[in-house]
Structure 1
Amino acid sequence: MSSTAGPIKTITFPDRELLEAVQPLPDGIRATVWDFRDDPVDVDLAEVDAVVLPYLNAQTVLGSLSRAGNLKFVQAQTTGIDGVREAVGANVTVASAAGVHAASTAELAVGLVLASLRGIDKAAQDQLEGRWRHERRLSLADRRVLLVGVGGIGAEISKRLIPFDVELTRVGSQARDDNEGHVHSKDELIQLAANTDVLIVITPLTEGTRGLIGREVLAALPDGALLVNVARGGVVDSEALTAEVVSGRISCAIDVFDPEPIPATHPLWQAENALITPHVGGDTSAFFPRIVHLLKRQLDALGTGSEPENLVQQGTDLS
């Protein structure tokens, strides 16, 4: 983008609360509400050149973006941007909310590990029945943890795991070394899984990672291993995971699944060694102030013609 005033003049927000929170707007930019159920408030769709997507269920509104014929910029409120680039085409610039959800999702990942290993979920069930049941459970200390995903959220999970005295192995798309040590390639997953007690998945969902944690990787995990997924459901083979968990061979603690919501009759609901949360990794008290801060920075960039943060696609219409 040039250093002169950018081309964005009209941006829509999915709700009034978010619009009001980012005030005041930079000079030259006007904003309104487009909730995707009706037309934008007091603005013709042809005038809309930037859109902030809703946080929840954004995939359900992507088809409406084609109605904004002069769209130049789309801002997601999620780290993942599943389907957004496909919906808008290559000419539209797309930005994610990378960083906004990192702390909260990392908290949940570690929380799911601890709850599952220490039997906190079982204790909560026993409490409802007034049952005192003492068992020796697994500790997170000394567990061999395989972390698949070394991006922003992966880095936050890694930082939170270190005080627990784990043996941490990290996996990225390619083998390399960084300031924290060695990163293994995803091509090594089957070999690495064979020496893993806890497998944590936080890699983005792309065509290259869909089904990455497949039947062979899951089968390589030792008996009694725990799989934790706080990424996207499609990264893990749902059928293979279900078979392994229902058999009792491994456990899972998952915040995501494919499909979502998990059907009420799905066997994972009844599996004693499954812990399920309803895709709440980033949806905490930390979310709103952090997304507001990001959006203010993005608006300032758009207003001055600077490059916005977190670009996952640089469209020609914004160059």
Structure 2
Amino acid sequence: MTADVWLPIPPDDIEGLPEGPAYHFWDGAEEFPADPAACAFYVVPYMKPARIGLRPLPRMSAVRVVQTLSAGIDHVEPGLDRMPPGTVLCNARGVHEASTAELALTLVLASLRGVPGFVRAQDRGEWRGGFHPALADRTVLIVGYGSIGAAIEDRLAPFEVARVARVARSSRTTARGPVHPLTELPALLPEADVVVLSTPLTDSTRHLADAEFLARMKDGALLVNVARGPVVDTKALLAELETGRITAALDVTDPEPLPAGHPLWHAPGVLISPHVGGPTSAFLPRAKRLLVDQLHRFVNREPLRNVVLTTGAAGV
């Protein structure tokens, strides 16, 4: 088949791409590499502002597949009405699980064991010991039990936690135990020592962690957000942090990037990392494998992986 494919990774750096398509490298530069109207398969630039990835979409009149390299697709959703009917939107399930789950555990352990305080003391040349909570014997609640949530539980297994509770949009059963629906969150929150947010950002999860959610968390609990910033109501979180009743570890914030002078920077009991759950050395090889597989499927007219939605379908 003859079709234009736009990639945010130079095609020469990806082994195994199928023959047939004309490959073009575009990672958000001001000039487009070719006529957007000829693009059939568009891979959205990774870790770029949403406005950049959306910019060519109004001119992509022949696009059939839009592939993100992120697990979330919220940055592409504003452009759905600009895509031709029948366009397939795919996410990067399988690319970020290892890195994001690794960071989630890092944030949990660093927060519980007081690592930020150790670093500050080291900067001052001070030896500051003390007693800190362990992850062992704690109850962990994972809110958003998709592939990333499951990967987080995989990494919790060696730490001798007392219990892992799982929450997703709807209930189901897994080999590790039940997944509770979101409606059961109010009953589960007071039991959790650590609450990890790994849910996609949707209308139903925006400000999921609001004042009521946070108030139900037990005294001394830790909130970890590796999902999207707006899943947490920042104002409500700040109010809880100021009391010292709970602590937080945030890889994502609202607003993001977090501007200088924002109260979250200096709120008590908060650890902030700058949205680095996905971009690690594990990203590129997994992203390349996904693209090679998807493009072979596209060329051979086989079902694509990770289909999130098709434009023009009911409800889209």
Aligned counterparts, 1:196-275, within 5 A: 196-275=192-271
One-letter code aligned to 2:19? D
Aligned to 2:90: 95
Is 2:114 the counterpart of 1:119? yes
TM-score (norm 2): 0.93
Partners of 1:67 and 1:276 in 2: how far apart? 38
Higher relative contact order (CA 8 A, sep 6+): 1
Aligned to 1:147: 142
Shift of 1:315: 4.5
Return the match for 1:21 from 13, 27, 31.
Answer: 13
**Unpaired stretches in structure 2, ≥5 consecutive residues:** none
One-letter code aligned to 1:14? P
Aligned to 1:54: 45
Query: Which region of structure 1 is more displaced relative to structure 2, 20-29 or 164-173?
Result: 20-29
Partner secondary structure for residue 228 of structure 1: strand
Return the match for 1:161 from 137, 140, 156.
Answer: 156
Whether the 8 Å contact between 1:85 and 1:313 is mirrored in structure 2 is no
Partners of 2:169 and 2:80 in 1: how far apart? 26
- How many correspondences in the alignment? 308
Aligned to 2:185: 189
**Unpaired stretches in structure 1, ≥5 consecutive residues:** none
Whether the 8 Å contact between 2:193 and 2:218 is mirrored in structure 1 is yes
Whether the 8 Å contact between 1:73 and 1:92 is mirrored in structure 2 is yes
Whether the 8 Å contact between 2:238 and 2:267 is mirrored in structure 1 is no
Whether the 8 Å contact between 2:28 and 2:45 is mirrored in structure 1 is no
Return the match for 2:72 from 77, 80, 87.
Answer: 80
Whether the 8 Å contact between 2:28 and 2:48 is mirrored in structure 1 is no
Shift of 1:209: 1.1
TM-score (norm 1): 0.92
Partner secondary structure for residue 46 of structure 2: coil
Is 2:56 the counterpart of 1:64? yes
Shift of 1:20: 1.8
Whether the 8 Å contact between 1:11 and 1:32 is mirrored in structure 2 is yes
One-letter code aligned to 2:59? R
One-letter code aligned to 2:234? S
Please, what is the CA RMSD of the aligned residues? 1.7
Whether the 8 Å contact between 1:218 and 1:244 is mirrored in structure 2 is yes
Shift of 1:24: 4.7
Q: Deviations over 1:105-157 (max 9, x none)?
A: 00000110000000011101111111011110000001111111111010010
Partner secondary structure for residue 253 of structure 1: strand
Whether the 8 Å contact between 1:33 and 1:40 is mirrored in structure 2 is no
One-letter code aligned to 2:26? W
- Give the fraction of aligned pairs with identical amino acids, expressed as a percent: 44
Whether the 8 Å contact between 2:192 and 2:221 is mirrored in structure 1 is yes
Whether the 8 Å contact between 2:72 and 2:201 is mirrored in structure 1 is yes
Partner secondary structure for residue 308 of structure 2: strand
Partner secondary structure for residue 283 of structure 1: coil
